[in-house]
Structure 1
Amino acid sequence: MTESPVHPDLWPAPHTSTAVDATVTVPGSKSVTNRGLVLASLAAEPGWLRHPLRSRDTLLMAEALRALGVGIEETVSSSSSATGSPDGSGEAWRVIPAGLHGPATVDVGNAGTVMRFLPPVAALADGPVRFDGDPRSYERPLGAVIEALRTLGARIDDDGRGSLPLTVHGGGALDGGPVEIDASSSSQFVSALLLSAPRFNQGVEVRHTGAVLPSLPHIRMTVDMLRSVGAQVDTPESGGEPNVWRVSPGAVLGRDLTVEPDLSNAQPFLAAALITGGRVTIPDWPEHTTQPGDALREIFTEMGGSYELTEQGLTFTGTGRVRGIDVDLGDVGELTPGIAAVAALADSESVLRGVAHLRLHETDRLAALTKEINELGGDVTETEDGLRIRPRPLHGGVFHTYHDHRMATAGAIIGLAVKGVQIENVATTAKTLPDFPRMWTGMLGLAGN
């Protein structure tokens, strides 16, 4: 686990003893925004992204694509209720494809989507593209993508590290074809190859050869978005071989895409309703979606709440009782920190399974959750593939975030029920949820940030 440096700014997590009753508008999906930016940049004609998320990860993606020659124009809709808000609501981005070119430098920050989705794009550019990022990005898995791209015809210099920093020597095209990859540490490995595949000379056939593939909803999201821009994709769900995805070569169409709210970022607000016995409404919750966050409806219901989904959105209601849960989160691993925080406040034991791959995320999330909850008086133990959480009375203290946005929101959830919790570096939430402190205090009807 990456050590969290001492940070001078500690945010006192708001505590409440009353039921929350609020409507919270959640910004657009990071996963949809960054996939949409990549596909629009590879298209044969301009396209639009409406209500995109403006956060560190998506701005890194946009700047990287601009460095490769793509035009991305930001506008604010006069008909929108928002007025240029930092989260991107009310905005539209016009993406104007151009000949991809180097030399260029890409700063990936600590964004898995940028460090994994863009090397295949860079292989299609004309010239060298250097990738670098935050120190933690050097530790995150990337070797499987590098080797797969080499198999498909790319030339990449990484000094044998199998990780960042690296340089992709784009040749203006990529052969493509069949490739085997072990994506058991991240489904993004598969999505990375699929997103650019229509532009490969032979398309691609990606065959996953490792253990259980995590986060399948994110691959389904990639496939659905590819099909929406005219790509032909064969998948296991459409009658193909298990663990094999095929994308045919062809033109990518420019589209007008409206980005859904980020359902995973709705998690702390739904959790607030659950643990306070209150009610929170998330407007514009889609009836059908590939976002992993949609699973929160059922998971939090099993933990003691109930929901109603209408044309206006999702309303979640707590009962004042929080139950433990035994659940496999392999497909929705990004929800684990928030679920662990709720489980620490439950009235019975919880077992969270299927998330060994979280040791390779922004930080080692399993180790981080264990340490931080236990230092507040909890009883969390790591298992081979997850966490066992035995509820105990918690007390205040500093909750470290390890530069991980979901650790910060997990700490805020606990602080809602436990007095004296202070979040170290709450600003890390800007990775995917800009202005979280203001949204959180606003939900509680509190002034300030």
Structure 2
Amino acid sequence: MTEFTQQAPYWSAPLARRPVDSTVTVPGSKSVTNRALVLAALASEPGWLRRPLRSRDTLLMAAALRTLGVEIEETVSSASGGAAGEAWRVVPAPLRGEARVDVGNAGTVMRFLPPVATLAEGAVHFDGDPRSHERPLHGVIDALRALGARIEDDGRGALPLTVHGTGSLTGGPVEVDASSSSQFVSALLLAGARFNEGVEVRHVGHTLPSLPHIRMTVEMLRAAGARVDAPEDGGEPRVWRVSPGALLGRDLTVEPDLSNAQPFLAAALVTGGRVTVPDWPTSTTQAGDALREIFTAMGGSCQWDERGLTFTGSGRVRGIDIDLGEVGELTPGIAAVAALADSESTLRGVAHLRLHETDRLAALVKEINGLGGDVTETEDGLRIRPRPLHGGDFHSYQDHRLATAGAVLGLVVEGVRVEDIATTGKTLPDFPDLWQRMLDGPDARD
């Protein structure tokens, strides 16, 4: 298992002395890796994950599944591709209880695994970092109780909690308010094929953020052999159905994490340079694919060729007025770029970011304004009026996307110091090294 070592409290963000010109191989998708681990653990036969992401969130997921009895073998395979040819072989087993799961601050672990734990024999206790106690879990907890599960959380609707598994769950129809996180829906769908009656999830809230992540869940379930009815296929709006049945073991190669490509594409945009990301998929459900359109609207251009996706900055950064409700995770990086633009930006539809790894909206206001910016919080987002920025300390709040946003600002603002850059290890291991190699020139590679 990877060790995450303590780094210096502040990291001096390197200044770009010239437009960047580099190829950066982005590690695999966290969203795909953790969904694939859950589906493989619930399958009826062994499966493979090739080129998985090794980060804090995915290692926490793997460790949790091992605690429940699943065998996950880490190997190096010449057939798997990638720099190290790494692959994980997942061997399902009857899930055991009397287990303790550390979720860290990983939303996918704290939300995807309680439904899985209902299928274990015995109690499964969930706990994590202090911030994890503040993140909402009521959607999953209430839905599982409605489906017949016994869960103890002392009425918090949050961690810590204990799921008393009985080896099975009846399943069936359930209502859930997923306004604060689309992961509530994905969590129920991922385990739904193993419920005796499957599951029918009806979203009853006003808004539903991050829909691409639910579409990713649906596509991965279907690829594993599940029958899924979804709204985008002409089904009932805001209702998803997963029929009961066996899941197949798969041989899956994990796509690059397109959201983690954001700071590198942003570097090309704000420096007027060029960055190529190999293996960018031509078709994907990842939210990060929206960066091609968003950053083009902010002043860049992109093209595909045999090398991958190349994004080129024009030397000008334009403001943008955009609803980011479906791709909220991109907000910190877009806010950093907008703070360097030549006109005002309005980012809308992201009120739910107040409940992420930190209150991302309040944090962005405080940290960008601390460097001389003019950012105000709106009811559902941010208004950003560009002003000349100066150096200073940029706090990350143990939030990986805040840390990379600070790095983007540091490319063109001298003297930016990012607190706790090691927090990027949550989804993007070795970020400081990747960042420096991007700045060093065209041969920077993972």
Same fold per superposition (TM over 0.5) = yes
Instruction: For 1:83 and 1:218, locate their aligned partners in 2 and report how far apart those are by CA, in whole Å.
Output: 27
Candidates 263, 279, 288, aligned match of 2:283: 288
Q: How does 1:200-211 map to 2 (within 5 A)?
A: 200-211=195-206
Q: Which runs of 5+ in 1 are unaligned?
A: 1-6, 85-89
Q: Counterpart of 2:219?
A: 224
Q: Counterpart of 1:411?
A: 406
Give 3-state SS (helix, strand or coil) of 1:389's partner. strand
Instruction: For 2:16 and 2:145, locate their aligned partners in 1 and report how far apart those are by CA, in whole Å.
Output: 54
Q: Counterpart of 2:35?
A: 35
Displacement after TM superposition at 1:349 (Å): 0.2
Q: Is the 8 A contact 1:377 1:393 kept in 2?
A: yes
Residue identity in the other structure for 1:66: R
Q: Is the 8 A contact 1:76 1:83 kept in 2?
A: no
Deviations 1:270-315 (A, max 9, x none): 0000011110000000000000000000000000000002343100
Q: How does 1:309-320 map to 2 (within 5 A)?
A: 309-320=304-315
Q: Counterpart of 1:98?
A: 93
Q: Counterpart of 1:427?
A: 422
Q: How does 1:59-98 map to 2 (within 5 A)?
A: 59-78=59-78, 84=84, 90-98=85-93
Matched, 1:242 2:210: no
Matched, 1:440 2:427: no
Residue identity in the other structure for 1:12: S
Shift of the 231–82 alpha-carbon distance from structure 1 to 2, 3 Å rule, reads closer
Instruction: For 1:312 and 1:252, locate their aligned partners in 2 and report how far apart those are by CA, in whole Å.
Output: 35
Q: How does 1:223-372 map to 2 (within 5 A)?
A: 223-372=218-367
Matched, 1:46 2:46: yes
Displacement after TM superposition at 1:83 (Å): 6.0
Q: Counterpart of 1:112?
A: 107
Residue identity in the other structure for 1:372: E
Instruction: For 1:212 and 1:66, locate their aligned partners in 2 and report how far apart those are by CA, in whole Å.
Output: 35
Q: Counterpart of 1:3?
A: none
Q: How does 1:150-169 map to 2 (within 5 A)?
A: 150-169=145-164
Q: How does 1:170-185 map to 2 (within 5 A)?
A: 170-185=165-180
Instruction: For 2:111 and 2:344, locate their aligned partners in 1 and report how far apart those are by CA, in whole Å.
Output: 37
Give 3-state SS (helix, strand or coil) of 1:440's partner. helix
Displacement after TM superposition at 1:105 (Å): 0.4
Instruction: For 1:83 and 1:358, locate their aligned partners in 2 and report how far apart those are by CA, in whole Å.
Output: 34
Instruction: For 1:287 and 1:214, locate their aligned partners in 2 and report how far apart those are by CA, in whole Å.
Output: 24
Deviations 1:165-188 (A, max 9, x none): 011000000000000000000000
Displacement after TM superposition at 1:216 (Å): 0.2
Instruction: For 1:402 and 1:254, locate their aligned partners in 2 and report how far apart those are by CA, in whole Å.
Output: 38
Shift of the 440–240 alpha-carbon distance from structure 1 to 2, 3 Å rule, reads same
Displacement after TM superposition at 1:78 (Å): 3.7
Q: Which runs of 5+ in 2 are unaligned?
A: 1-6
Residue identity in the other structure for 2:292: R
TM superposition score normalised by structure 1: 0.96
Displacement after TM superposition at 1:17 (Å): 3.0
TM superposition score normalised by structure 2: 0.96
Displacement after TM superposition at 1:8 (Å): 5.6
Displacement after TM superposition at 1:81 (Å): 6.9
Deviating beyond 3 angstroms after TM superposition, the runs of 4 or more aligned structure 1 residues are: 78-84
Q: Counterpart of 1:188?
A: 183
Instruction: For 2:135 and 2:10, locate their aligned partners in 1 and report how far apart those are by CA, in whole Å.
Output: 27
Instruction: For 2:86 and 2:283, locate their aligned partners in 1 and report how far apart those are by CA, in whole Å.
Output: 23
Q: Is the 8 A contact 1:138 1:163 kept in 2?
A: yes
Candidates 117, 125, 134, aligned match of 2:120: 125
Displacement after TM superposition at 1:212 (Å): 1.2
Task: Let me know the Cα RMSD of the aligned residues.
Answer: 1.2
Q: Counterpart of 1:24?
A: 24
Q: Counterpart of 1:57?
A: 57
Instruction: For 2:305 and 2:89, locate their aligned partners in 1 and report how far apart those are by CA, in whole Å.
Output: 31
Number of residue equivalences: 436
Matched, 1:400 2:409: no
Instruction: For 2:334 and 2:20, locate their aligned partners in 1 and report how far apart those are by CA, in whole Å.
Output: 18
Displacement after TM superposition at 1:35 (Å): 0.0
Deviations 1:345-392 (A, max 9, x none): 000000000000000000000000000000000000000000000000
Give 3-state SS (helix, strand or coil) of 1:109's partner. coil
Give 3-state SS (helix, strand or coil) of 2:261's partner. helix
Range with bigger deviation, 16-25 or 214-223: 16-25
Q: Counterpart of 1:87?
A: none
Give 3-state SS (helix, strand or coil) of 1:170's partner. strand
Instruction: For 1:67 and 1:396, locate their aligned partners in 2 and report how far apart those are by CA, in whole Å.
Output: 45
Deviations 1:81-112 (A, max 9, x none): 7664xxxxx21000000000111000000000
Q: Is the 8 A contact 2:80 2:253 kept in 1?
A: no
